[in-house]
Chain A
Amino acid sequence: MKTLFKLITVCTVVLLGYGFCQAMYIAPKEATMGDVQRIFYYHLPSAWIAFLLFFVNFLASIWYLIRRSKGADALALASAEVGVMFCTIVLITGPLWARPVWGIWWTWDARLTSTLVLWLIYVSYLVLRHYAVGGQIPVLASALAIFGFLDVPIVYMAIRWFRTQHPQPVIGGGEGSGLAPAMWVAVLWNLAAFMLLAGQYIWVRYRQALTTYDLEEAHAHASLHEEPGGAR
C-alpha cells in the first residue's frame, strides 16, 4: 500500500510538472487573449474534476443510506472536501482570467453563477458535517448531499433563464467554438495530472476518515470496559 502510494505521488509530481511545461511553453499562444489564456489549462480541468467529485459524493451518499457502510461515508466526505477545493480553484482562476480579458472580475452569467451556487451548497455540506455531533453525522450529511445534488439542475435552469431575461453585460469568453489540437494536448495532460492529484487527496482523506471511525469505536469500547466510577 505504502509503496503504491509513493509511486503514485512520484507520478503525480512528474505529471504536474509536465502539464505545467505543456501549458506554459508548448501550447500555442492564444490569438486574441495572449498568454493570459494559459490559465485555462488549470481552470477547465479543475472545473471538470470538481463536478465529477460532487457526483461521486452524491453516489457515495446514496450508497451509504442503502448500505450504511463506513467506507461510503468516508468517500462522500473526502470527495466533497476535495471537490470544494477544486471548485475554489475554479472560482479564483476564473476572475483572474476574466479581469484582463473581459475587463471585469465577475459577471452574473449562467455558468459562473451556477458554479458559485454549487460551491455554496457543498460548503454548507461541510459545515453541517463539522457541526453535527456523534454517530448521526453520516445520515444527516447524506440527506443534505442528496438535496444539494438534486438542486443543481434546478439552479442551472433558473439561472439560465434569469440571464437570458436580462441584457448580457459581456458575452461569455471561454474556449468558444473550438480548441486548437495543440491546446487539447495541454488540457488533457493537465487533466490527467489533476485527476491523479485529486485521487491522491481523496485517498489520504478517505484513510484518515476511516481511521477516525476506528479510533472513535476503540474509545467507545474502552469506556465500556472501564471500571464503573473510575478509581475506587
Chain B
Amino acid sequence: MSTVPGLWNITRRSLAKDLRLEWRSKDAINSMLFFALLVVVIFSFGFDPTAEESRRIAGGLLWVAILFATVVALNQTWTRELRNQVLDAYRLSPAPAQALFLSKTLGNFLFVTILELLMVPLFVVFYNLRSVGPVWQLLVVGVLATWALVVNGTFFAALSIRTRSREIMLPLILFPISIPALLAMVDATTAILTGENSPFFWIRLLAVYDLVFTSVCFVLFEMVLNAE
C-alpha cells in the first residue's frame, strides 16, 4: 500500500494521460455526444408532451438517455489499454491499482458531466422544460447520480473486457445493479421538476449508494485487475 500523496500523484498523471489521449482522438466524447443527441431526438419523436406532462416524464427520459450514452463511453474506457498490452504493463508496475481505477473513474465522470451540460439545454429546448422546484437541487442530484453511474460502470467495464462479446456484457451486468440508483435519480429529478414532493430521501439514498459502491470498488478492484 502506498501513501495517499503517492496515490494521488499517480492518479493525476494517469488522468492527464487519458485526457490528453481523448483530447487528441476524441473517440469517446464524439460517439457519446452523437449517440445522446440521437436518443434525445428519437425520444422527442416518440413522445409529444405538453409542458405539464414533460415535467413529469423528463426526469426519466433524461436519465435513460444519459445512461445509454454513458455505456458508450464506458465501453471505451479499458479497450484503449488492451492495445499494446498497456493493461499488462499496469499490472506489472508497482503503481497501486486504486490509482488507476480512480483516474479512469474521474475521467469518465468528466466526460459524462460534459455530456450532461450539453444535453440538458437540448432537453430544455425540445421539451419546453421549466423547473418548479429549486434548480440547485438538480445540481446535487446530477453530481451524485453521475458518480453512481460512473463508479460502478468503470468497475464493470473492467470486468466485461475480460469476457467474450464485451460490448454487450457491460449493460447486462451494470443495469441490474444500477436499478436503485436509477430509480433514485429519476424520482429525485421528477420531484424537483414538478415541485410536488421532497427529493431529499432520494438524494440521501444516492449518497448511500455512492458511498457503499465506491468503497466496494476500491476494495475489489485490485483483485479484478489481477484476475488470471
Contact of A154 with B by CB under 8 A: yes
Among B173, B205, B223, residue most surrounded by chain A Cβ atoms (within 10 Å): B173
Contact of B187 with A by CB under 8 A: yes
Give chain B interface residues in 61-87, CB to chain A under 8 Å.
none
A162 in contact with B183 (CB, 8 Å): yes
Contact of A3 with B by CB under 8 A: no
**Bound complex: CA of A146 vs CA of B152, how far in Å?**
13
**Bound complex: CA of A98 vs CA of B115, how far in Å?**
43
A133 in contact with B183 (CB, 8 Å): no
Contact with A along B196-228 (1 / 0, CB 8 A): 010001100100110011001000100110011
A143 in contact with B177 (CB, 8 Å): no
Closest-CB distance, B75 to chain A (whole angstroms)? 15
| A and B contact pairs by CB, cutoff 8 A, 18 listed | A65-B223, A117-B180, A124-B177, A127-B173, A128-B160, A128-B163, A132-B163, A133-B163, A139-B227, A140-B224, A143-B159, A147-B177, A148-B177, A154-B180, A154-B209, A155-B180, A161-B201, A162-B183
Count of chain A residues with Cβ under 8 Å from any Cβ of B? 31
Chain A residue numbers with a CB within 8 Å of B7 are none
A150 in contact with B213 (CB, 8 Å): yes
| Interface segment, one of B89-97, B98-106, B164-172 | B164-172
Closest-CB distance, B222 to chain A (whole angstroms)? 11
**Bound complex: CA of A125 vs CA of B155, how far in Å?**
15
Contact of A15 with B by CB under 8 A: no
User: Looking at the complex, which one of B175, B197, B220 makes contact with A146 (CB distance below 8 Å)?
Assistant: B220
| Chain A minimum-CB-distance residue to B179 | A117
Contact with A along B137-174 (1 / 0, CB 8 A): 00000000000000010011001101111000100110
A157 in contact with B205 (CB, 8 Å): yes
Main secondary structure of the interface of A (DSSP, over half): helix
Contact of A84 with B by CB under 8 A: no
**Bound complex: CA of A31 vs CA of B194, how far in Å?**
45
Contact of A223 with B by CB under 8 A: no
Tell me the B residues contacting A by CB distance below 8 Å: 152, 155-156, 159-160, 162-165, 169, 172-173, 175-177, 179-180, 183-184, 187, 197, 201-202, 205, 208-209, 212-213, 216, 220, 223-224, 227-228
Contact of A121 with B by CB under 8 A: yes
**Bound complex: CA of A150 vs CA of B215, how far in Å?**
11
Chain A residue numbers with a CB within 8 Å of B162 are 132-133, 136, 140
Chain B residue numbers with a CB within 8 Å of A135 are 228
Chain B residue numbers with a CB within 8 Å of A124 are 172-173, 175-177
Q: A121-B177, A133-B162, A143-B220 are in contact. List 16 more A-B contacts (CB 8 A).
A: A117-B176, A117-B180, A120-B176, A120-B179, A124-B172, A124-B177, A125-B173, A128-B163, A131-B164, A136-B162, A139-B224, A140-B162, A151-B177, A158-B179, A158-B184, A161-B202
Give chain A interface residues in 188-225, CB to chain B under 8 Å.
none
Chain B residue numbers with a CB within 8 Å of A65 are 220, 223
B159 in contact with A140 (CB, 8 Å): yes
A159 in contact with B183 (CB, 8 Å): yes
User: Looking at the complex, which one of A121, A125, A150 makes contact with B216 (CB distance below 8 Å)?
Assistant: A150
Chain A residue numbers with a CB within 8 Å of B175 are 120, 124
Q: In the complex where A144-B173, A146-B216, A147-B177 touch, is A154 in contact with B223 (Cβ < 8 A)?
A: no
The 6 closest A-B pairs by CB, nearest first: A139-B227, A136-B227, A158-B180, A120-B176, A131-B163, A121-B176
